[in-house]
Amino acid sequence: MRLALLALSCFLAFLVFPHRISGDPGSNNKWAAVKRWNLWTKVTYEHLWINKSECGGHSRDEDHEETITTGPLEFLEHISDDSIDVISWTSNLGRASGSESQHDESVDCDGRTITSTLNGSGSNPEPFFIGLHIDLKKGTYSLGAHNGANYTLHRRVVTPEGTQSSSWDSGGGYDIEIEEPLPGGSTTVLSGMRVLDKPPHAGHGQKLTVNWRLTPGDREDVELLVDPDQYDKWLPEGGKDEKQIGNQLAIFVKLRAKDGKEPQQKAKRIVFELTDTSQIPGVCDNYPRDAKSDHDFQFGEETNPELKVTGKGQQAETKPGEYTEAYAILDSYDFGGYSTLKVTAYLTDGQEVTGHLKSDKSQTEIRIPKRTPDSKIGEAWKKRENVESLSDGDDGEETPKLDGHNGDGLTLYEEYRGFMEDGEHFRAKPKRKELFIVDKVGGRSKDGIALLRTATDLLIYDKLLQTEADENGVVNANHGGKIPRRGSNWAVRLENNPDPKIRYAEGVGKTGGPKKVLMGSGFDPGPGGWNTAWGKRIITDDYAATVAHEILHCLRVSHHGNTDPGRKWWIKDMGDRGQLVVREYDMLGDNQDEVAKAGHVIRVLTENGRELRPDSPELSLPTYHYVGAANGQHSGHEDCLMRYKCADVYVSPSDGDMRYLAGDEMTGIGLCKDAHGTGVNDPGRKPRSRYGDASAGNCFEQPCVNDSAH
C-alpha cells in the first residue's frame, strides 16, 4: 500500500513538474544562441570590527570595493555528448579596479589613542582570464574569475608622538568561483548576488559580497516577417452594403532570427498599423447610392478578439504577453480599397523591430492589396487582365473601334473597382469598351440588347438595378480621394414610357450626358403576336431591332438619310375628270385648312407595275401612309439596324407623283459598314432599287460609348 502511494506520488510529481524533470529544450537553445557575453561584477567588503579590552579597545572600519570589467566573453566551445552538455565562453581581457579604505582606532590602557587610516586604489597590471560555463545537463552555470588588483596604498598613523605616513604597493587578489542554477523562462540575463565565505587568497579571510550580471554581448539579430495570406492573388471585396465585410485578409507575422532559426527573444507586443487607407464612398463605382465615406480596410474588433483595436480600426495590437508570432484579420469593405500596412514588434529587451514583407525585405510599408508603388490597383487583377503596364488613369481601350474614340470613359481603376449588376459584383474588362444599361422594361428588351451586343461587339451590362446607378443613370458616382476619374459615365436607361398613350419607342439623350430609351406601353406584341408567340421562336424580330435602334441613337448613331417625305394623309377623291383618284396631303398638324391646300393627286402601283384603284381594299382609304424616298431613312444596306423598314410606299425615281407599294423588307440586325444599297436597295435589283444608297452609311463606325469624349 505504501509503495503504491509512493508510486502515485512520484507520478503526480512528474505531471506537476514536467519541465523540471524533462528539461526545457527550448530554453536550452537560447543559451546556445549567445555568441558572447558582457560581464559586470562588483565585489564589496565592508567590515566594522570592534574589540574592547579591559582598559581600552580597538575598532576598525573597512570598506573595499572592486569592479571587474572585461571585454566580451567569446564563445569557446560547446561540448555535448551523452554524458555532458557544456557551453563555454572565455575572455583573457579581465580587468579589475577598485578602492580600499580603512580606519583603525585603538586606545590602550594608558589612554593613548592611535588612529590609522589607509587609502588606496589601483587596478591589475595584466589582464586576466575569466570563464563562463553553462552545464545544460545540470542546469547550472559557473563563473570563474580572478579578482584583485595591484593597489598603491597610503597609510597615515597618528599617535601622541606624532604622525607617520607610508606608502607601498599591494598585490595578490583572489579567485571567485560561482555556480548557480540557470534561470528559466525567456530571460537570457545571468545575474545574482552571492556572499563568498573566505574565498581563497582573499587575504582578509572575511566574507565578500559579489554582484554579477552577464548579459548577451550582442543583440540577437531578429527580423519580423509579415506574410499577408495569399498576398499574390488576394483582391479586396466589398459587401452587399457599406456596413458589411466583403472579404478578409489574414496577416501573419513571425519573429525570426536572421539565420532562420527560432528567436531567443520574444515580443512584448506586436502592433499592426494601417496608413493612407482609402475612404472612397460606396463598395464599388455604382453601389450603393448616396454612399458614405469610411475606411475601406479596418481591423474589426469582432474579427480580432485577441487584439486591441484602436483608431477606427486602423491599428491593432496584441495584448500584453510574449509573442514570436501573431496575426490580424483585415476586414475589407470596398472592391477598390487600398492601404499601407506597417507592423512593429516591441521586444522584451527594448528593441523595436519593423516588420518587412516576407518575400521582399525592402518593403516595410506593405501595400495592401499587393500592387506597385504608383498604383492603387491590385496586381493580381492587372496580371489577370494583362494590363500591368497601364496606369490607373488609363482609358485607352481600342476594341471595338466604333467611332474611333478610344476608351469608354472609365479609367483603369474604375474598371478594376468594378460594378454591381443585379446584386452581383464584377470587375470590368479593361481592354474592351463597355456599355451599361439600366433596363426597367425587361423581358424581350433583352433581345434588342443582344442584337446591339452582336452588332457592335461592345460588352454590355444590362442587368443593372435602379439602385445600381444614380437617378440620372451615372454608374461611377461613387468616387473621391486619390482615384483617377475622367468624368461621369451614364448608363442607358431603358424604361416604359410613363404616359400610357405614348406607344412608340424613343431614344432621348446622347453619349456625353444622360440618355434613355422610352418604350411605349403594350409595345411588344411578341414574335408573331399574343396568340402565336409561344414556344421556340426566332427572337431577332422587329421589337428587338427597335430596341437596339433606339439605343444606338443614344450612342450617336444617325439614320441612313433624312429625305423621306414621311407621313402623308391619303384620301380617295374625285379627280378633275370625275374619276376616283388618290390625293396625298402633307401632315401639318392640326391646321386642316393647310392640309387641304397641300394635297395633290398620286398614282399607287405595285412594284411590278399594276396600278391600284383608289377604292381597292389594299389601300382602304382614307388613312395615313408613310412614304419613303431615295437616299432617305430606308436607303443603304438592307440588313442594318439603323435603316427604317416601315414605309408603305416609295416615290418613283422617275415620277414624283407615282408611289410604289413596298413589300416586306428584311429586319436589319447588323450595322452597315458603308453606304451602298443592298437587298431591296441594291442598284441592280429588278424591277428597281427601292431607296438606293444611303446618304449616311457606315453605322458600324458611329457608336460612341465614351461620355468623356463629348
Partner 1 sequence: MKKSCLIVAGLVVVVVFACILGVGAWWVWSRYLKPAITPVAERTGSTMRETGTRPELPSVEMQVHSAGEGQAFTGWPLLVRVSVRCPLSSDSQKPKPVLIAGPGGSWQESLRLAVQDTSGAKVDWPWRQPKADGGTVTLDGRMGIEWVWWLTGDETQAIRAGKYRLTAVLDTAKVTAPGAWKGTVSSRSADLDLKAPGQLSAEQEALKEIQTAQAEALGGNSAAAVARLQTMLGRSPKDIEALSFCGGLLADSGRLEEALGMYNRAIDAWYESNPDAEIEPVLLLTERRRLRTRMLEQEQPSS
For the segment 282-341, give every residue that binds partner 1 (CB under 8 A).
306, 318, 321-323, 325-327, 329
Q: Is 248 in the site for partner 1 (CB under 8 A)?
A: yes
| Non-local CB neighbours of 79 within 8 Å, separated by 6+ positions | 85, 86, 87, 88
Place of cell 428597281: 688
Minimum gap (Å) between residue 542 Cβ and partner 1: 6
C-alpha cell at 272: 499592426
**For partner 1, which residue of 316, 459, 671, 680 counts as binding (CB under 8 A)?**
459
Please state the φ and ψ torsions of residue 173, each to the nearest 5 degrees: 95, -175
562 binds partner 1, rule: CB under 8 A: no
Contacts (CB under 8 A) with partner 1, residues 5-64: 5, 8-9, 12, 15-19
Q: What is the dihedral of CA 577, 580, 586, 590, to 10 degrees?
A: 110
183 binds partner 1 (CB under 8 A): no
Please give the Cα distance from 377 to 337 (Å, whole number): 9
Size of the residue set binding partner 1 (CB under 8 A): 100
Site for partner 1 in 146-175 (CB under 8 A): none
The single residue among 500, 575, 683, 687 that binds partner 1, judged by CB under 8 A, is 500
What are 251's three cell numbers? 496577416
DSSP state of 9: H
Select 43 or 449, whichever has its Cβ closest to partner 1.
449
* Bridge partners, residue 214, by sequence: 39, 190
* Interaction of residue 1 with partner 1, rule CB under 8 A: yes
How many residues in the chain? 710
Give me the phi and psi of 593, to 5 degrees please.
Answer: -65, -45
Q: Are 348 and 189 in contact (CB under 8 A)?
A: no
Selected range binding partner 1 among 54-62, 150-158, 336-344, 542-550, rule: CB under 8 A: 542-550
User: Which has the closest alpha carbon to 314: 295, 336, 334, 338?
Assistant: 295
Counting contacts by CB under 8 A, is residue 645 touching partner 1?
A: yes
| CB closer to partner 1, 506 vs 655 | 506
By CB under 8 A, what part of segment 89-118 binds partner 1? none
Give the SS3 label for residue 15. helix
- Min dist. Cβ of residue 237 to partner 1 (A): 6
Q: How far is the CB of 266 from partner 1 (least distance, A)?
A: 9
Pick out residues in 619-638 that bind partner 1 (CB under 8 A): 620, 623-624, 626
The rounded distance, in Å, linking the Cα atoms of 104 and 102 is 7
- Nearest approach in angstroms of CB 493 to partner 1 is 16
Q: Whole-angstrom Cα distance, residue 65 to residue 506?
A: 105
Beta bridge partners of 467: none
Q: How far is the CB of 77 from partner 1 (least distance, A)?
A: 31
Residue 132: all three cell numbers together = 563562463
> Is residue 278 exposed (0-12), middle (13-18) or buried (19+ Cβ within 10 Å)?
buried
Asked if 383 interacts with partner 1 (CB under 8 A), we say no
Among residues 132, 235, 255, 491, the one that binds partner 1 under rule CB under 8 A: 235
Which residue type sits at 467?
Answer: T
Q: Specify the stretch interacting with partner 1 by CB under 8 A; choose among 68-76, 216-224, 283-291, 515-523.
A: 515-523
Choice between 31 and 323, CB closer to partner 1: 323
**Binding test (CB under 8 A) with partner 1, winner from 244, 594, 646, 683:** 646
Tell me how far, at minimum, the Cβ of 223 lies from partner 1, in Å: 18
The secondary structure of residue 296, as a DSSP letter, is: S
583 binds partner 1 (CB under 8 A): no
Cα separation of the two ends of the chain: 101
With binding defined as CB under 8 A, does residue 533 bind partner 1?
Answer: yes
Helix, strand, or coil (residue 551) = helix
606 binds partner 1 (CB under 8 A): yes
The residue within the footprint of partner 1, chosen from 147, 489, 546, 681 (CB under 8 A), is 546
Which amino acid is it at 473? G
Which residues between 115 and 144 bind partner 1 (CB under 8 A)?
A: none
Residue 610, interface with partner 1 (CB under 8 A)?
yes
Nearer to partner 1, 45 or 543 (CB): 543
687 sits near partner 1 (criterion: CB under 8 A): no
Spell out, one character per residue from 653 to 682, where the chain touches partner 1: x when CB under 8 A holds, - when not: --------xxxx------------------
Choose, by CB under 8 A, the member of 589, 593, 609, 654 that binds partner 1. 589
Residue 529 touches partner 1, criterion: CB under 8 A: yes
Shortest reach from residue 623's CB to partner 1, in Å: 4
- Least Å from the CB of residue 488 to partner 1: 24
Distances in whole angstroms, Cα of residue 432 to Cα of each of 309, 459, 705? 43, 7, 11
Adjacent-strand bridge partners of 572: 582
234 binds partner 1 (CB under 8 A): yes
Q: Considering only residues 415-454, where is the footprint of partner 1 by CB under 8 A?
A: 422, 424-427, 429, 442-444, 446-447, 450, 453-454
To partner 1, the closest distance from the beta carbon of 610 in angstroms equals 7
501 is a site residue for partner 1 (CB under 8 A): yes
Quick check: 374 binds partner 1 (CB under 8 A)?
no
Query: Residues with Cβ < 8 Å from 345, sequence gap 6 or more?
Result: 224, 253, 255, 267, 269, 270, 271, 323, 352, 353, 355
**Is 322 buried (19+), middle (13-18) or exposed (0-12) by CB count in 10 A?**
middle
- Nearest one of 512, 522, 503, 519 to 551, comparing CA atoms: 519
CA distances for 705 relative to 417, 489, 491, 643, angstroms = 19, 9, 9, 21
Dist CA 683 CA 636 (whole Å) = 10
What is d(CA 34, CA 76) in angstroms, rounded to the nearest whole number?
Answer: 11
Tell which one of 336, 514, 566, 692 touches partner 1 (CB under 8 A). 566
609 near partner 1, judged by CB under 8 A: no
Binding residue for partner 1 (CB under 8 A) from 189, 193, 587, 596? 587
